[in-house]
Amino acid sequence: MNYNKKSIEDIEVAGKRVLCRCDFNVPTKNGVITSDKRIVAALPTIQYLVEHKAKVILCSHMGKPKGEWKPELSLKVVADRLSELLGQEVIMAADVAGEDAKAKAAALKEGQVMLLENTRYMKGETKNDPELSKELASMADIFVNDAFGTAHRAHSSTAGVADYLPAVSGYLVQKEVSIMGKALADPERPFVAILGGAKVSDKLNVINNLLEKVDTLIIGGGMAYTFQAAKGSSVGKSLLDESKIDYCKEMMAKAEAKGVKLLLPVDCVVASDFPNPIDGPIEVKTVPVTEIPDDMEGLDIGEKTQAIFAEAVKNAKTVVWNGPMGVFENPTLAKGTIAMAQALADSDATTIVGGGDSAAACEQLGFADKITHISTGGGASLEFLEGLELPGIACLQDK
């Protein structure tokens, strides 16, 4: 995939109607936004368009209305918050690509901003329906994709409209593509990748793809126990995907054949049961991974493992991290994930954290400003690491 894509700065936007796909899928409670991080992240692109006299038509999905009009998933709350942040009114359309949206888009003046209703109110959105794509495109002259979080989805508002309009990236997508694209295509070495999370099956293709590119691959989290089982260790009650044991053996053989260092935990934090509630108190002890008692399960990496993993990060020039080292939601079982976040924060390397829990860990610990790049898309960054083509990026014009 070509990562060298045109951005809003490579195209004339003055006087043009610009349809900009953002990621306004923000969390709300009782109709109030609980985190406006995604709205704030979209501001540089919107402000550029406003300052360069574009007529700005924003669109996004929110939640999973599945083609039904659910008032609690209306983007009106986003329009209100965006109006405050921009210091100007954001005009709210009553529909997605209907009469109201089209009338308001046609009446837009230079520098004005409007927001369409939740794109997933339309049944055709997630099916990438050409009719809906055409209707959306009919309101604009240019398409800008600034929603990396949905770039792995071939939907009407993320990729389909690019069949009918010249398409470029906004600043968020441009940053994701340039930093992550370079890390995978032409990394500074040593290149270290850290994978965590619960299931091997979620990261099958990622492991396979990264073994072609990295110098060291670190595996932690629940997925590490299937690798331990593949090495012949008993893993007690730990997470184990027996159907993937042969796959893990293949990956260990592949790492050896390619001269890639594959680092697995040497010790782990065990408990007799998974914490319930998830953040409740829990009694734990640390044991070597080869000595997990039959009636206990591994729930985090131990201190020796933390030190080995941190040492690998210290010597790296490029580090990509996706997935926690343990049950991060529980303070007692978050130490491994915190140690990884600390190692990245202390590193001089180009450090990239792919969405989800790893990103949350860096942000909660106040390390976000010490990380080169925290991805805004969990699923999209995973598919990026798999080497898959992302529809929302492939549809953009090459430079």
Shortest CA distance to 386 belongs to which of 164, 210, 136? 210
The rounded distance, in Å, linking the Cα atoms of 21 and 148 is: 10
Whether residue 38 lies in the annotated active site = yes
Catalytic, 199? Answer yes
CA distance 124 to 146: 21
Out of 134, 199, 249, 304, pick the active-site residue: 199
Which residue among 220, 302, 356, 392 is the active-site one? 356
Q: What are phi and psi of 66, to 5 degrees?
A: 50, 50
d(CA 232, CA 26): 44
Can 356 be counted among the known catalytic residues? yes
Q: Which of 98, 181, 379, 387 is catalytic?
A: 379
The answer to whether residue 379 is catalytic is: yes
* Cis peptide bond prior to 277, omega within 30° of 0: yes
Catalytic entry in 38, 203, 213, 335:
38
Q: From the CB of residue 56, how many other CB atoms can be counted at a distance below 10 Å?
A: 30
Distance of alpha carbon 321 from alpha carbon 341, whole angstroms: 9
Active site residues: 38, 199, 356, 379
